[in-house]
Amino acid sequence: MLNSWVVAPTCLPLVLRRCHTCASERFRANGKFRVNAHHKLIDAWLLVLCTGCGETAKLTVLERMNVRSVRPELLDRLHANDLGLTAELLQDPVLRRRNHIALDWAGAWRLDTGESDHLDREVIDISVRFAAPIPVRPVRLIAEGCRLSRAEVERLIAEGKLVSAVRLSGKLSSDFTFTLKR
């Protein structure tokens, strides 16, 4: 019997970037964009605010793009300060590389395990789906979802009672399955 868990965002992640005003390292996106059109060229930024001092920083979304080459739907969403677009852009590795930022997902996601009566079974197969590419430790997820301590999860892995095709140590941010035998 296969059970499904979902790792889902609960809010926007923080943006890791050093503030030049107060040396804080975290910024919060509030879903606002700035768009500048000059002749046929357009620039667009995602605005983020320092969590320490409130200073605004701009993350480049579009840089000197010919306005005709930008999808009208994207322009509409930029002008509407679309919160969903903010979430999509922060999850885009190209935007993160271009702006030299990383994300802090601490406290910004939850694990949905659905019905939990399956935990009594001798063998359970669980597929974990990521609704967003959130880097989390499988050991922590499994401990939370199966109501075990992390030490117990580590022991089950060492004893070969908790197995997966992926490495369960370290962090993962994409779908995986695991089997727990007791």
Q: Which is nearer to Zn ion, 102 or 131 (CB)?
A: 102
- With CB under 5 A as the contact rule, the residue among 55, 104, 144, 152 that binds Zn ion is 55
Number of residues that bind Zn ion (CB under 5 A): 8
Check binding of 19 to Zn ion (CB under 5 A).
Answer: yes
Check binding of 173 to Zn ion (CB under 5 A).
Answer: no
> Min. distance of Cβ 57 from Zn ion in angstroms?
9
Q: Which is nearer to Zn ion, 2 or 53 (CB)?
A: 53
Check binding of 50 to Zn ion (CB under 5 A).
Answer: yes
Q: Which is nearer to Zn ion, 54 or 107 (CB)?
A: 54
The edge-to-edge listing of strands for the beta sheet with 41-50 is 56-66, 41-50, 26-38, 14-16, 102-104
DSSP 136: B
Helix intervals (H) in the chain: 72-79, 83-90, 93-98, 138-146, 150-158
Instruction: With beta carbons less than 8 A apart as the criterion, state whether 26 and 51 touch.
Output: yes
- The amino acid present at 178, given as its one-letter code, is F
